[in-house]
Structure 1
Amino acid sequence: MTTSLPRPAQHAPPRRRDAVRADVLASLVVFLVAVPLSLGIALASGAPLMAGLIAAVVGGVVVGLLGGSPLQVSGPAAGLTVVVAELVTRFGWQATCLITVGAGLLQIAFGYARIARYSQAIPPGVVHGMLAGIGITIALSQAHVVVGGSPPTGAMAALTELPAQVAELRPGAVLIGAATIALLLLWPRLPHRVRVLPGALVAVIAATALAVALPDVPRVDLPGNLLEAITLPTLLPDLPWLGIGAGMLTIALIASVESLLSAVAVDRMQQTGPRTDPDRELIGQGAANTISGLLGGLPVTGVIVRSATNVKSGARTRASAVLHGVWVAVFGIVLVGVVELIPLAALAGLLVVVGLQLVKPEQIRAARSHGELVVYLGTVAGVLALNLLAGVAIGLVLAGLVMLRRAVRARVRVVEPDGAAPWRVVVEGTLSFLSVPALSRTLATVPAGEPVRVELVVDYLDHAAFDHLDAWTARQRATGADVVVTEPGARRRGDRPRHGYGTWSQWQMAPGQEVDHTPHAPLLAGVAAYHADAAELIRPTLEKLAHGQAPKGLLLCCADSRVQPNLITRSGPGDLFTVQNVGNLVAGTSMRAALHYAREILRVPLIAVCGHSGCGAMRGLLDGARQPGDPLGDWLASGAPSLEALRGGHPVGRAALAAGYSEVDALAMVNVAQQLAALREHGVDAALVGLFFDIPTARVLVLDEDAQEFRRPD
């Protein structure tokens, strides 16, 4: 019988009323986050404050309707603050609006040209370093406002002028700014039930209330409401168009990359629902920037803070982003008097925290672990010392140099013999002509006439390196030495499977090879191949595990020879504490002992039970092959509840049979569900997962306990 994968379950769409209610509530929460951030970003950009609200309205409504990421929320972003501030200083606000329009048109062209995928080629170290540099610049400049001064342009100027500003600080501004920063830092640490409102909103409201007692504190000054702030573009004939064009391209590239990165993060946050269409997202962002620039607003990007708030607040559709824009518009038209009560130091304190949050320790650790810390730090230094474009250019150059270094670097080492073993020369990395001098020096340390094993653990071997190695091998053999050159992990005998994925018979038998029929021959040959191809590669990992284990979970699976736990979970040494028995049953003293050891000693957080197709134990249960006194029959008696559950119409069994699985496989799936229930009856409080290995298709399915059926993990 042909075994097929289960058909995806058809979910009924949520009731419209529930979706509308969820979107309205989420939009209100995002609106409360967006207002103070939009005002603060406009302040830091040197733009009219209402330009931030205009961008928030346009980003919410236009991108919400046209964008390719349904749950992403767009608006003015901190990542563009430094660029916009520089453009305003160089060209003025009217020209900056024109640049925003041009950037939007470029983004629309990017979307129609379908080049969004190329943004993924920008190294993370450059992107994260750029954002960190922007964040530090924002924090330094807004620190001047916190102490009662005016923000200078550029990070270095902000840093050098800060001591003089501190010497002339205004106590009222300092008090409000410090209170805002303290509340923003404290808010995430409070109990969840206390954090009903967003921290940014609470901090600004508290600072505004505090400012009532401090009448000399500078406050937001608005020329009118949102409608009055709309300024249509005017003809600007005398402009340095080369600089204007560079500004358009800069805004378009940064806004596109930031929007796409935010969209990817939103996709990861939501478990279900449509994925982002990156080209459509660029078209939506471009349309928003074009309209925002025409109306006198800031540039727009997808913003991860608002988007994450949207997802966490339970938004269902793009209506939430659109409604958030509507609420901002109502606020900017009707409640302008409320905005003018806000002290500038409160917005500055908010931006100091937002800027510092762009410097993420986990991104620094990731850059270090991937060998790209120099790229990250170089980008940050370039943004701070020069400007954003120069910092990105420096980061890209450093990323290229790092890649070049990796491409030409080979690690060559000699392992001296221990006893009768031969000398070993291990070559790792990329072996090109640039590595020949190091290879030559290392090979020269091997005495003439000594047997040598050369292990090429390389991903590339060019002609020059091969020629040098071949010549040295010939000279060494001429001295009477035995020289063996191996490539661990490489394919052998044409297109035969690799050792890790093929059976003994597949990779040990060559055409015309004489077969050794002794029972232990295949096993010993496998052990020998392990020593030849894998032992040295895995030794560093095992050295770290030599003094103890800390597995991530316990895996109970069948003892069937076709079920390879490490293979189907892609786990390595130390990952899983594995128990295998006939039928993967939670029964017997051995299993109880394993459970006790895993939970009480190893403290594993996860227990998984894995059944499989064509299981002999399940077939024996169905056939009733249980004779009194028969050890196998006595053991299978523990699986009787699973058989009863199948015959009683267990929903997992019904779903399996409806999907075309055989009765044996349906029983195996029901058995997994029953063993998970047995674990719960034993009082196991770890996370539990049910798996099913479908041997003919080589697929591993995961039990969805809510739907009571097995599904592919993707």
Structure 2
Amino acid sequence: MTGDTQSSRTTTERLTSVLRHDLPASLVVFLVAVPLSLGIAVSSGAPLIAGLVAAVVGGLVAGALGGSVVQVSGPAAGLALVVAELVRTYGWRATCMITLMAGVLQIVLGAFKVARTALAVSPAVVHGMLAGVGVVIALSQLHVVLGGRPQNSAVENLIELPNQIIDNHSHAVAVGVLTIAVLLLWPRLPRVNVVPAPLAALACAALTAAAFGWDVARADLSKGFSEWASPVWPAGDWHGIAGAVLLVALLAGVESLLCSVAADRLHEGPRADLDRELTGQGVANLVSGALGGLPVAGVIVRTTTNIRAGARSRWSAILHGVWVLVFAVGLGWMVTLIPLEALAALLVFIGVRMVNLGTMRGLHGHGELPIYVLTMGAVILVGLAEGVLLGLGLAALFALRRLTKVWVHVALEPDDRWHVVVTGSLTFVGVPRLTEGLRGVPAGAGVHLDLNVDFMDNAAFEALHGWRLEHERTGGTVTIDEMHDEWYTSAAKGTRASPAKSPPKAPERWWLPRAYRRGGPLSAIPVRHSGAWIPPRQESGAVPDLLAGAVDFQRRTAPLVRPFLTRMARTQDPSHLFITCADSRVVPNLITASGPGDLFTVRNIGNLVPRHGSALADDSVAGAIEYATTALNVQTITVCGHSGCGAMAALLSAGEKISGLHGLERWLRHGDHTLARYILSDPGDGEDGPLDRLCRVNVAQQLDNLRTYPEIALLEAEGRLKLVGLYFDIGAARVHVLDREGFTPVSAGSR
């Protein structure tokens, strides 16, 4: 019974969600889909009913079977050029058969789970193709808006456009201008903009034309579904037919998959199953072709509208298909009121918006704008298939250029050695740049060469090895350090290197104590100290160790952090004041995974905070607190203690362990309140020893000490400052956080 009750409750919740969220969203999408479907049918040269059939199938079939719960499918403007060309070449009924076969091909591709492969197509090509299609549609339909007829190509439409503007001033122009004006202004009008702009624009155009008796062409849907005719096999060369099927299947599939990926970024529901989506689109195209509809694809405009309207499940897309079907069957007569010029103006508006400036800016930032421009221009001037192929070719050339690009940086270090860094993929293409860079190293100089390359072919090895032999012959020295696999070393030894690019080696473990890094890269770096060179393996003392570390920082880390530090050079903006012990085993940036500019750090013995107004005042800690809260406006103050703290051990020993250290004795008087709190506290189950228990008590006490500062207490009370206690168990390498129940270990999966 419990299972039945739970199932009934789940069903009720789902039904409630559909009624509250998906039903209203489906009505909004329906109002957007009808005018767009009619306009795309006009642009494609197909019967008007074909656009509505595709919208119905896109909702009922693709919505139910697809892999995205929020994507809305239907006739897509991006396919209008392809369909128009197919209609001119083979006729409408044959075009339906091509759509049907494209659906079968999509089903096969989905069964073989190749959907992810489609995402390898450069988005610059896809967006460039859509932009080119948009321009072609806008140019052709602009002639209809101006009362004329579109020409056979975009170039002819552009050439003929001035004559259309000069010669035509009919009622058609007024309808078109009115439609575009409403499309532009409607979203900016308060309250009324809940009605979709396309629907409002067509309604205004139809009512105005009827009221003033304008002489305009009308959309004809009087025959309704009686215009349906079964698909027929295309007549012509089978190579062309196969190419058309492949083109429709790939364009519709790629557009749908990219739309699914984009939709996943806009909602919090289940992620899209791309293979299922491709299969669902294939079934939808099969059905749409069989029923005399346009090709179906996921449409970003309708999908975005669906998400913004609050859709939660695929029921929104399905219901939108139901509403389109009801409209086509029962209210098709309303379409006859719409001027064709208004539909053309809607297509002009859609076509212009397909040239997305935001997309262009994003592609420019990644250096891919030339691919976008070439694809768009080729689609406009040459043709859709040719433009896509040219765009793919340029994208492949760009990718090849990036994959084979090499950077060579040559610099003279303060130690009079030359530092050469070679980064990238070292192939024959990069040999000229490599030899040009190495030519800047004078003969006889000492050279440290960092090979930060993930691949090296034989031509590059021969060039590099030949330079090294020649440089050493003239008295120079060359030390080579390879960051990735030993491409150079393997080639020099005559052994086989990995045939593929390799991932980088694990980075140098800078966080290890130096004693654990002996024999590593640091110990092999000669260091100049007090005017003399200290050779490798003869270093002694901390200063040479630190200088070796500074050399390693300059060589490996400084180039990585320099861009960030340059931006921080004039000001700091930390969010945390971090008060912790001076113990060498506690590394604040390590245990908090923070970097430069994150922590304003105060370190002292015992992580103590002198109480406000204490007789033993300490201006250093008090000054840091004042500066952090007043000048830096930190949001958090963290006190971090640790296990085995020597200061706490000294408190427990009543000062015997620090006998004779008078400065330390005076400082540890700030821990008297900690010791008193420890004596009065509950020892608990005794799992921790007395020392570690005192270390934990000390953290809580220092937080209370902070609250003795009036400004700290005020900021905390107002919610503008948070006090946090941490405890670092050194032996377990585990951070604990203080809460109401005590200290709780931070788990790896917590946030």
- TM bin, normalised by shorter chain, reads 0.7 to 0.9
Distance 1:518 1:199, change over 3 A: farther
d(CA) in 2 for partners of 1:532 and 1:363?
A: 38
Shift of 1:407: 3.2
Q: What SS does the aligned partner of 2:575 have?
A: strand
d(CA) in 2 for partners of 1:680 and 1:171?
A: 72
Which residue of the partner structure matches residue 251 of structure 1?
A: 248
Q: Is the 8 A contact 2:127 2:372 kept in 1?
A: yes
d(CA) in 1 for partners of 2:717 and 2:212?
A: 64
Shift of 1:303: 0.9
Is 1:426 aligned with 2:421?
Answer: yes
**Aligned runs of 1:542-691 on 2, under 5 Å?**
542-543=565-566, 545=567, 548=570, 554=575, 577-580=598-601, 590=624, 593-594=627-628, 596-597=630-631, 631=670, 681-682=717-718, 684=720
d(CA) in 2 for partners of 1:18 and 1:680?
A: 43
Is 1:344 aligned with 2:367?
Answer: no
The 10-residue stretch of structure 1 (397-406 or 314-323) with the greater mean CA deviation from structure 2:
397-406
Is 1:440 aligned with 2:438?
Answer: no
Q: Is the 8 A contact 1:488 1:534 kept in 2?
A: no
Is 1:467 aligned with 2:466?
Answer: no
- Select which of 201, 204, 226 maps to 2:202: 204
Is 1:508 aligned with 2:517?
Answer: yes
Shift of 1:243: 2.0
Q: Is the 8 A contact 1:101 1:290 kept in 2?
A: yes
Which residue of the partner structure matches residue 149 of structure 2?
A: 150
Which residue of the partner structure matches residue 101 of structure 2?
A: 102
Shift of 1:598: 5.2
Give the TM-score normalised by the residue count of structure 1: 0.78
The 10-residue stretch of structure 1 (26-35 or 307-316) with the greater mean CA deviation from structure 2:
307-316
Shift of 1:531: 0.9
| Per-residue deviation, residues 22-53 of structure 1 (Å, max 9, x unmatched) | 11111111111111111111111111112111
| Per-residue deviation, residues 70-114 of structure 1 (Å, max 9, x unmatched) | 111111111111111111121111111111111111111111111
Which residue of the partner structure matches residue 389 of structure 1?
A: 385
Which residue of the partner structure matches residue 471 of structure 2?
A: 476
Q: What amino acid sits opposite 1:20 in the alignment?
A: V
**Aligned runs of 1:699-710 on 2, under 5 Å?**
none
Q: Is the 8 A contact 1:103 1:249 kept in 2?
A: yes
Q: What SS does the aligned partner of 1:227 have?
A: helix
Which residue of the partner structure matches residue 5 of structure 1?
A: none
Shift of 1:556: 6.4
Is 1:364 aligned with 2:360?
Answer: yes
Shift of 1:230: 3.1
Q: What SS does the aligned partner of 2:26 have?
A: helix
| Per-residue deviation, residues 377-397 of structure 1 (Å, max 9, x unmatched) | 221121111111111111111
Is 1:75 aligned with 2:74?
Answer: yes
Q: Is the 8 A contact 1:130 1:383 kept in 2?
A: yes
Aligned residues: 647
Shift of 1:301: 0.5
Distance 1:572 1:119, change over 3 A: farther
d(CA) in 2 for partners of 1:521 and 1:49?
A: 83
Distance 1:219 1:337, change over 3 A: farther
Is 1:315 aligned with 2:338?
Answer: no
Distance 1:314 1:693, change over 3 A: farther
Q: Is the 8 A contact 1:31 1:327 kept in 2?
A: yes
Which residue of the partner structure matches residue 230 of structure 2?
A: 232
Q: What amino acid sits opposite 2:443 in the alignment?
A: A
Q: Is the 8 A contact 2:82 2:384 kept in 1?
A: yes
Q: Is the 8 A contact 2:484 2:505 kept in 1?
A: no
d(CA) in 2 for partners of 1:72 and 1:698?
A: 45
Q: What amino acid sits opposite 2:481 in the alignment?
A: T
Q: What amino acid sits opposite 1:330 in the alignment?
A: V
Shift of 1:454: 2.7
Higher relative CO (CA 8 A, sep ≥ 6), structure 1 or 2? 1
Distance 1:532 1:384, change over 3 A: same
Distance 1:246 1:564, change over 3 A: farther
Which residue of the partner structure matches residue 453 of structure 1?
A: 448
Which residue of the partner structure matches residue 163 of structure 1?
A: 162
Q: Is the 8 A contact 1:141 1:151 kept in 2?
A: yes
- Select which of 17, 20, 25 maps to 2:18: 20
Q: What amino acid sits opposite 1:509 in the alignment?
A: R
Shift of 1:319: 0.9
d(CA) in 2 for partners of 1:685 and 1:353?
A: 51
Q: What amino acid sits opposite 1:169 in the alignment?
A: N
Which residue of the partner structure matches residue 650 of structure 1?
A: none
Which residue of the partner structure matches residue 533 of structure 1?
A: 556
| Per-residue deviation, residues 674-705 of structure 1 (Å, max 9, x unmatched) | x9x9978546599xx9999999899999x9xx
Distance 1:478 1:307, change over 3 A: same
Q: Is the 8 A contact 2:234 2:241 kept in 1?
A: no
The 10-residue stretch of structure 1 (67-76 or 150-159) with the greater mean CA deviation from structure 2:
150-159
Which residue of the partner structure matches residue 530 of structure 2?
A: none
Distance 1:454 1:295, change over 3 A: same
The 10-residue stretch of structure 1 (405-414 or 45-54) with the greater mean CA deviation from structure 2:
405-414
| Per-residue deviation, residues 456-477 of structure 1 (Å, max 9, x unmatched) | 3333222332233233223323
Which residue of the partner structure matches residue 658 of structure 2?
A: none
Distance 1:502 1:353, change over 3 A: farther
Shift of 1:267: 1.2
Q: Which runs of 5 or more structure 2 residues have no equivalent in the other structure?
A: 1-8, 491-503, 524-536, 610-620, 655-666, 685-695, 708-712, 740-745
Is 1:263 aligned with 2:260?
Answer: yes
Give the TM-score normalised by the residue count of structure 2: 0.74
Distance 1:229 1:525, change over 3 A: farther
Distance 1:259 1:404, change over 3 A: same
Q: What amino acid sits opposite 2:344 in the alignment?
A: A
Q: Is the 8 A contact 1:53 1:226 kept in 2?
A: no
Distance 1:60 1:283, change over 3 A: same
Distance 1:538 1:430, change over 3 A: farther
**Aligned runs of 1:110-129 on 2, under 5 Å?**
110-129=109-128
Q: Which runs of 5 or more structure 1 residues have no equivalent in the other structure?
A: 1-10, 601-606, 648-663, 704-708
| Per-residue deviation, residues 583-627 of structure 1 (Å, max 9, x unmatched) | 999x98746644554569xxxxxx789999x97699x99xx99x9
Q: Is the 8 A contact 2:216 2:339 kept in 1?
A: yes
Q: What amino acid sits opposite 1:399 in the alignment?
A: A
